[in-house]
């Protein structure tokens, strides 16, 4: 690693199934699904470069395992204590690893995405009022 670099996520991947994706969420409220096959290498490398969009800090990286995981919910939480809940299927698929994705969470000026989690109940008791279907979406205040 270069000086100042730190690991963001590590997964032991030995196969690259066609229906598996890495799902990224960034501090600017954007998200993207990248096919795992985009990361398959043919030769040995000393280090991986250009693994994902680096213009905004990464808040969460998940693995979508096949079509069954498309309906799995994830919660996105902003610095102003608002949240949205969406399924992986709502995140647009892009084939380029460095894709910036699409805007999912409409953030107020100065706010950033601070958390992304598959453990929705750690943040809210019910997805009612938080579940969004059209994007970008404004967040709902947590606890209301």
pTM of the full structure: 0.86
Q: Which residues pair with 75 in a beta bridge?
A: 85, 117
Neighbours of 141 (CB within 10 A): 12
CA–CA dist 57, 50 (Å, integer): 14
pLDDT band at 46 (very low <50, low <70, confident <90, very high): low
User: In angstroms, how far is CA 9 from the centroid of its own chain?
Assistant: 12
pLDDT, one tens digit per residue, over 50-67 is 667 778 889 999 989 888
């Amino acid at each position: 690693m270069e000086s100042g670099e730190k690991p963001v996520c590590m997964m032991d991947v030995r196969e690259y199934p066609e229906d598996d994706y890495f799902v990224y969420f960034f501090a600017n409220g954007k998200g993207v699904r990248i096919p795992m096959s985009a990361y398959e290498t043919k030769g040995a490398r000393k280090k991986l470069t250009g693994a994902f969009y680096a213009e905004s800090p990464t808040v969460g990286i998940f693995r979508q395992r096949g079509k069954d995981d498309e309906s799995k919910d994830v919660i996105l939480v902003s610095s102003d204590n608002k949240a949205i809940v969406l399924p992986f299927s709502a995140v647009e698929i892009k084939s380029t690893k460095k894709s910036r994705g699409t805007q999912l969470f409409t953030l107020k000026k100065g706010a950033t995405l601070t958390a992304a989690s598959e453990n929705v109940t750690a943040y809210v008791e019910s997805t009612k009022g938080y579940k969004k279907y059209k994007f970008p979406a404004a967040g709902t205040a947590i606890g209301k």
